[in-house]
Amino acid sequence: MKPPRQHIDIPAVLKEKAPNVHFPRFVVRWLERIVHAEEMNRFLVKHTEEEGFDFARVYLNEELQCSATLSGEENIPDTEAPLLFVSNHPLGGLDGIILALALGEKRKYHLRLIVNDILMFLKQISTIFVPVNKFGRQSREYAKRQEELWASDMDIITFPAGKCSRLQHIKGEGFVIKDMEWHKSFIRHAVQYKRNIVPIYFEGKNSRFFYRLAFWRTLLGIKFNIEQLYLADEMYKGKGKHFTIRVGKPIPYTMFDQSRSPQEWAEWVKNIVYSL
């Protein structure tokens, strides 16, 4: 029997994301295992009524048993003006859910999180997400939804790196786990929509397996982002952990003048985040 709509249905996801590709059954089973479809569906059966922030809260508390400390929360402005929370992206999924809850509690849950569109298949939590396509070209619908969000009075959480942190060799630092280059678009949006930026540093790491897989995939020149398939597995590996979120002082959007290029300003904000 086909699972209810709110369940994780890997064949349906594959059909939507790659309609012209036939995936062997063993590939489907492998994907179901690494995304923990069975555990997720069992949890979803128990929590069909919750959605949005309520679902995120019960998922973290009951299923993953994770907790977090918000350090520097006095730096979150007490204002009705919409804010832009800008964070590093160490985990690739769990960090977003934790941030949404922690910051939402301080901002009356009047916020949205820009995420990989693959997470939209988790219907109960999709109401707090605005999707971006990381596997192909951006659709007009997604672009429109993002522009509507930027123009709204909602707070926004974004990860300018686009994808989670990777193991990289940086001159003068050696091998470090750090975000890749930050995309400059958040600077342009902050200025255009007059949003002050609140820098966030999220302390956390994925498994050694994840970083090694990403490192060797890149070294071998394989373009397909294999490691991203394991992000749900990484989420479950974070079960029972406690995380620290560090909040920096707000940066007024008027700071971003013509003295630097948008990319240089993006790097400047990234350095502030990592100084936290």
Q: What is the pLDDT of residues 58-101, one digit of tens each?
A: 999 998 999 999 999 999 998 889 999 999 999 988 899 999 99
Distance CA 106, CA 85 (A): 12
Q: Do the bridges between strand 242-247 and strand 197-203 make them parallel or antiparallel, or are there none, so unpaired?
A: antiparallel
Q: How many CB atoms lie under 10 A from the CB of residue 99?
A: 24
The domain defined by 51-275 carries CATH number 3.40.50.2000: no
Rounded mean pLDDT, 260-264: 95
Per-residue DSSP letter, 126: G
Query: What is the pLDDT at residue 43?
Result: 87
4 confidence band (pLDDT: 50, 70, 90): very low
- pTM for the complete prediction? 0.88
Query: What is the pLDDT at residue 133?
Result: 61
Both tokens of 112, joined, read 């949205």
Name the residue with tokens 């941030």: 99
Contact of 250 with 196, CB cutoff 8 Å: yes
Buried b (16+ CB within 10 A) or exposed e, 63-73: bbebebebebe
Taking phi first (over 0 means left), then psi (-120 to 50 degrees means alpha), and beta for anything else, what does residue 147 get? alpha
Q: Report which of 222, 27, 235 is spatially closest to residue 122, judged by C-alpha positions.
A: 235
Q: Report which of 193, 190, 204 is spatially closest to residue 96, judged by C-alpha positions.
A: 204
Q: 17-26, 103-112, 126-135, 261-270: lowest mean pLDDT where?
A: 126-135
Distance CA 143, CA 148 (A): 9
Q: 15-19, 84-88, 90-94, 235-239: lowest mean pLDDT where?
A: 15-19
Query: What is the pLDDT at residue 205?
Result: 92
Rounded mean pLDDT, 164-187: 87
Query: What is the pLDDT at residue 120?
Result: 62
Q: Looking only at Cα atoms, what is the longest distance across the chain?
A: 61
Q: Is the pLDDT of residue 16 over 90?
A: no
CA distances from residue 185 to 55, 262, 264, 270 in whole angstroms, order as listed: 30, 8, 12, 13
Both tokens of 50, joined, read 């919750």
Name the residue with tokens 């890749």: 180
- Domain extents for the chain? 1-46, 51-275
Q: Is the dihedral of CA 192, 79, 275, 236 positive or negative?
A: negative
Rounded mean pLDDT, 148-152: 90
Rounded mean pLDDT, 143-155: 88
Share of the chain above pLDDT 70, in %: 93
Distance CA 31, CA 193 (A): 40
Q: Is the pLDDT of residue 129 over 90?
A: no
Instruction: Rounding to the nearest 10 degrees, give the CA dihedral for residues 75, 78, 82, 84.
Output: 10
Query: What is the pLDDT at residue 121?
Result: 62
In sequence order, the β-bridge partners of residue 99 are none
Average pLDDT taken over every residue of the chain? 86
Distance CA 165, CA 167 (A): 7
1 confidence band (pLDDT: 50, 70, 90): very low
Q: Is the pLDDT of residue 6 over 70?
A: no
